[in-house]
Amino acid sequence: MLNLERLRTLHAVARHGSVSAAADGLHVTTSAVSQQLSKLERETGQQLLAKNGRGVRLTDAGRLLVEHASRILSQVELAQADLEAQHGHAVGELLLGTFATAARGLFPAALVALRREHPHLRARLEEMEQDEAVSRVVRGDIDLAVVLDWYNKPLPVPEELAKAPLLDDRVDVAVPAGHPLAGREQVALEDFAEDEWISWPKGEFCHDWLLFTLRGKGVEPRIGHKADEHPTQLALVAAGLGIAVAPRLGRGPVPEGVCIVPVRPTMCRRVFAIWRVDADRRPSVRAAVDALRTAGAAIGS
């Protein structure tokens, strides 16, 4: 009889494209993945993987088995959802993913509430980039993710995913304390036409949003520096190296030398949860969405 965990391992290799990437996705060592694959080949009596340069590729038998594994694993997920729904309680393990400021500003309260209200549910959070979070929910690697889009730039959500709004995250502009606009009650983005910006890395959703928004205001952005984390961006602002967008969610203490200026008209990031439609019946998913909504409402109040 074929072993389910070994089928899951083969499926992960096919999905991620390599043994090492599959190991990362499964949170095990590459040696453990290789051992599982070797046992699966012995069970089937066929070679499932072949060397391809420094990596591996699926053989014809491997591709055939992966097709069956996809259907089997999907049915197992449905069975788990049905059993959990019949049980009527949030139990088992729930894998969650999100971006940095939500991990810092939204999830602590939500996770504490889940632990208090659902003691038999083990919720595990992993910080990740937004594109990765969406694809991992689609693939079933994680159960739920919190992602964002912008008031003027929606995030396309695959049709197999459900979504629920959590909060609107107001966004300000951070400027050095000596900036001519520091201390203003409100500013317009056009007021910064001559300034140098500190942005997210090129290719990230928020970086593309910044370029899109400034150009929509008739401003050709001058990007001086790029950094993933908002604390790093604010440190660069404090050093007088530019200005930056400053979302309120997870912002924390503003460093000395930085002035936060509200923007008119209001800019915001829309933060929402996503999960697979076929997981709608799972009490654990519903419990997580409820906890995140409550945490979001507390932040917005």
* Residue range 208-243, pLDDT digits in tens: 999 999 999 999 999 999 999 999 999 999 999 999
Residue 195's pLDDT is: 96
Q: How confident is the model at residue 301 (pLDDT cuts 50, 70, 90)?
A: low
* Maximum average pLDDT range among 6-10, 77-81, 192-196: 192-196
Q: Read off the pLDDT of residues 43-60 as tens digits, 9 standing for 90 and up.
A: 888 888 888 777 788 888
Per-residue tokens: 136: 């991992």
Residue 66's pLDDT is: 81
Residue 190's pLDDT is: 92
Q: Which of 96, 74, 93, 146 minimizes the C-alpha distance to 296? A: 146
Q: Which residues contact 293 (CB under 8 A, 6 or more apart)?
A: 164, 166
Residue 106's pLDDT is: 96
**CATH class held by domain 4-85:** mainly alpha
Dist. CA 66–CA 44, nearest whole Å? 13
Q: Which whole number is the average pLDDT over 144-152?
A: 95
Residue 123's pLDDT is: 96
Q: How confident is the model at residue 21 (pLDDT cuts 50, 70, 90)?
A: confident
> Residue 82 above 70 pLDDT?
no
Percentage of the chain lying above the pLDDT 90 cut? 56
Q: Which of 148, 150, 130, 134 minimizes the C-alpha distance to 211? A: 150
Dist. CA 37–CA 66, nearest whole Å? 12
182 three-class SS: coil
**Domain range annotation of the chain:** 4-85, 92-301
DSSP string, 242-291: -BEEEESTT--SPPTTEEEE-BSS-EEEEEEEEEEGGGTT-HHHHHHHHH
Residue 45's pLDDT is: 86
Dist. CA 91–CA 114, nearest whole Å? 11
Q: Which whole number is the average pLDDT over 20-47?
A: 83
The half-sphere exposure of 301 on its side-chain side, counting CA atoms within 13 A, is 6
Torsion over CA of 243, 247, 249 and 254, rounded to 10 degrees? 20
Q: Which CATH number does the domain 92-301 belong to among 3.40.190.290, 3.30.930.10, 3.30.457.10, 2.60.40.10?
A: 3.40.190.290
Burial of residue 202 (number of CB atoms within 10 Å: 0-12, 13-18, 19+): exposed
